[in-house]
Amino acid sequence: MFDKLEDLLIRYEEIMSELHEPTVANNQERFRKLMKEQSDLTPIVEAFTEYKKRKQDIEDSISMLEMESDEDMREMLKEELNEAKHRVEELEGEMKILLLPKDPNDEKNVIVEIRAGAGGDEAALFAAEIYRMYVHYAEGRRWKVETMEVEEIGIGGMKSVTFMISGNGAYSVMKYESGVHRVQRVPETESGGRIHTSTISVAVMPEVDEDIDIKIEDKDIRIDVMRASGNGGQCVNTTDSAVRLTHYPTGIVVYSQTEKSQLQNKAKAFALLKAKLYDIEQQQRHDAEAELRRSQIGTGDRSEKIRTYNFPQGRVTDHRINLTLYKLDKIMNGDIQDILDACIAADQAAKLAKMNEN
């Protein structure tokens, strides 16, 4: 580990030196790559620099203890020694986590697709509530939310909704939401007071940007334009602005009608199609790397039941990490950070255990 850290420190110094060269500022692409690499390395370099300083503090304290005879001074030096040793242990753990292989998609925006599953109208109502939960969470982090595709039902529910969350590191936390979410409660339409169980599925996909090559051949796609349906403002339902894309090889159909402009809807539809095609590629790669998938939390099987929201008892249980929280109201209002932090910690622990085996 320490050989690797020394190599990273050398690389960091090389980057800093290159960034000060006048020619680099003129090459914007090179400049951006170096800044990104510097940003990625900074936390590791800072931790390693502090680690080396604390190790030196330990050596200094031991040397001074051997020479010191005054009891008060010895007590102070022992305290400083224990504090430095404790911090060294903390830093070793932090550096191991910082050295874990990074998901190349972690810094990207995400496209989230929520679909009502078993439970009819109740599932559609729950899908709408989970959508609002994510919107509130994103707004709390000052991330931008943009609806791409929605199919509503008359009573306020959603059969499906697809939206983009734009924000630094959005995928790094939202990826843990992929899977089946289950709700247990008494529906408003249930006169007998019986608890019903309904499900929805959540798919979280990284936005596909220029650095990922997803080819879509013209012959593989059909583009249909039509008038938007459902609720719309001025112009939305009166022009052929809605766009539907059909991808023949996969059978994927995407639809965008949220913008007034046909061009904007077409761009959104292609962004969504690219994300879905890239997601299929990722799923196939994960399937081929079964061991890797087993060491990850919630980034694999879309059919996995990941969480239950029990309304009568006011609790939410994440089944992957055996976490139960009794603050359902707050969670439904977007307070999901505790769950996400626990998923991240469990994921890191699983990867560290895997790394230690090798």
Contacts of 8 (CB under 8 A, 6+ apart): 41, 44, 45, 48
Is residue 267 domain-shared with residue 125, that is, in the same domain?
A: yes
Task: Check which CATH number belongs to the domain holding 119 and give it.
Answer: 3.30.70.1660
Instruction: Examine the pLDDT at 270 and tell me if it is beyond 50.
Output: yes
Instruction: Examine the pLDDT at 69 and tell me if it is beyond 60.
Output: yes
Highest mean pLDDT among 160-174, 177-191, 249-263, 281-295: 160-174
pLDDT given for residue 230 in this prediction: 55
Instruction: Examine the pLDDT at 114 and tell me if it is beyond 80.
Output: yes
pLDDT given for residue 299 in this prediction: 47
Dihedral angle over CA of 184, 140, 233, 245, nearest 10 = -70
Is residue 254 domain-shared with residue 225, that is, in the same domain?
A: yes
Task: Check which CATH number belongs to the domain holding 51 and give it.
Answer: 1.20.58
Is residue 201 domain-shared with residue 343, that is, in the same domain?
A: yes
Which of 98, 129, 161 is the last residue before a domain boundary? 98
In a domain, 357, yes or no: no
Domain count, the chain: 2
User: pLDDT per residue over 285-295, tens digit each?
Assistant: 666 555 544 54
- Please return the burial class of 171, using the count of CB atoms within 10 Å of its CB with bins 0-12, 13-18 and 19+: buried
In a domain, 358, yes or no: no
In a domain, 103, yes or no: no
266 residue type, one letter: K
> In angstroms, rounded to a whole number, what is the distance separating the alpha carbons of residues 265 and 223?
11
Is residue 152 domain-shared with residue 283, that is, in the same domain?
A: yes
User: pLDDT per residue over 219-263, tens digit each?
Assistant: 888 888 877 665 444 444 445 678 888 888 888 888 887 777 788
Bridge partner residues of 280 (DSSP): none
> In angstroms, rounded to a whole number, what is the distance separating the alpha carbons of residues 158 and 110?
20
Question: Which residue has 């959540």 as its token pair?
Answer: 202
In a domain, 356, yes or no: no
Domain residues for 82?
A: 2-98
In a domain, 77, yes or no: yes
Is residue 77 domain-shared with residue 148, that is, in the same domain?
A: no
Is residue 211 domain-shared with residue 317, that is, in the same domain?
A: yes
